[in-house]
């Protein structure tokens, strides 16, 4: 899993397709609805790009992780929300529009912040004397190509062929889950001789990071006076991350199976923990709260927004 065309070429292409799936869920109205009340967007984005990486550094220190594991944990923490975070938000009765915009905004910002945090982690845990480093310019260009462009393509398809976008959205989400599963299986096989050792080292940190992300999302939302639905959206975005992106950075740019272990483990454990968040959300938010109180008034507002 460290090299070869399957990883160096196939993984970026797969991620490109997955990011199109995010674009397929977006309309201009989604941006309008969230920007009218931007508190959720601001809180969620700041927590995503600052709180999570700092939490990863703290966990790496507290658990005395080996250098490779520590860097890998920072990388997955610095990744934006994943394509399935919107689905989990929907199942948890959270604010789906906020979740979608948070996914996009964090994806765009992490184009710059992900290489910064990664290189800082490499310098911190490996020392400045090591030659290993994440090429900043190359990384920014690659992330832009597999984040901004496919999202724009997905939005265009959504605008021009909404029926096609609706049908394709489910297929792309399923494809994303398949790619992540295939990557995890391949990675485990590639490091099978040391997998149990690495699992013991990275597993508790990945679980702790996931739980901290969800807790931080709920807490920040509550302190900021956001609604329960907005809080669920923020918590889901911090908990359900783009594990495929983390694997791409560690495998294709850093060429390290060891550093990719936290992303692989996180990509697995985030699903059962995510379903616990769904169960919590469905207890604290009534189904009626997800529907407009006055459909006529809501339609008039949407017409004005257009």
The token duo for 113 is: 């912040």
Contact between 236 and 89 under an 8 Å Cβ cutoff? The reply is yes
Fold of domain 5-301 = Na+/H+ antiporter like fold (1.20.1530)
Please tell me the predicted confidence (pLDDT) of residue 75.
94
Nearest-angstrom CA–CA distance, 62 and 130: 24
| pLDDT above 70 (res 53) | yes
Most confident of the following: 62-66, 265-269, 286-290: 62-66
Percentage of the chain modeled with pLDDT above 90: 27
Element (H, E) at 113: helix 96-126
Domain spans of the chain?
5-301
Per-residue model confidence as pLDDT tens digits over 205-224? 999 999 999 999 999 999 99
Write down the pLDDT at residue 210: 95
Contacts of 302 (CB under 8 A, 6+ apart): 29
Say yes or no to pLDDT of 176 above 90. no
Report yes or no: 274 and 87 within 8 Å, Cβ to Cβ: no
Q: Rounded mean pLDDT of the chain?
A: 80
Whole-prediction pTM? 0.76
User: Cβ neighbours of residue 145 under 8 Å, at least 6 residues apart?
Assistant: 12, 16
Q: pLDDT tens-digit profile of 226-258?
A: 999 999 999 999 998 888 788 888 888 888 888
Residue 81 DSSP SS3: strand
Task: At 255, give phi and psi (nearest 5°).
Answer: 55, 50
């Amino acid at each position: 899993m460290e090299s070869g065309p399957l990883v160096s070429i196939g993984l970026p292409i797969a991620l490109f397709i997955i990011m199109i799936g995010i674009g397929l869920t977006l309309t201009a109205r989604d941006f309008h609805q969230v920007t009218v009340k931007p508190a959720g967007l601001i809180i969620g984005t700041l927590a995503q790009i600052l709180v999570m990486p700092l939490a990863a550094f703290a966990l790496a220190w507290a658990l005395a992780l080996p250098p490779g594991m520590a860097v890998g944990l920072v990388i997955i923490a610095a990744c934006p929300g994943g394509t399935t975070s919107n689905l989990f938000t929907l199942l948890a009765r959270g604010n789906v529009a906020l979740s979608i915009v948070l996914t996009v905004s964090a994806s765009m910002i992490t184009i710059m912040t992900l290489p910064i945090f990664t290189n800082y982690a490499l310098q911190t845990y490996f020392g400045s004397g090591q030659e290993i480093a994440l090429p900043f310019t190359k990384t920014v260009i690659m992330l832009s190509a597999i984040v901004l462009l496919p999202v724009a393509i997905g939005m265009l398809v959504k605008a021009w062929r909404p029926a096609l976008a609706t049908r394709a959205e489910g297929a792309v989400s399923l494809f994303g889950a398949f790619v992540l599963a295939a990557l995890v299986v391949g990675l485990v096989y590639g490091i099978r001789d040391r997998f149990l050792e690495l699992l013991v080292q990275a597993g508790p940190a990945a679980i702790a990071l996931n739980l901290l992300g969800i807790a931080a999302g709920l807490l920040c939302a509550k302190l900021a006076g956001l609604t329960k639905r907005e809080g669920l959206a923020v918590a889901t975005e911090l908990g359900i991350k783009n594990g495929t992106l983390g694997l791409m950075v560690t495998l294709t740019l850093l060429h390290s199976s060891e550093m990719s272990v936290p992303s692989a483990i996180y990509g697995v454990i985030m699903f059962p923990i995510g379903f616990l968040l769904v169960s919590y959300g469905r207890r604290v938010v009534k189904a009626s709260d997800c529907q407009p109180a006055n459909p006529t008034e809501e339609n008039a507002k949407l017409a004005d927004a257009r």
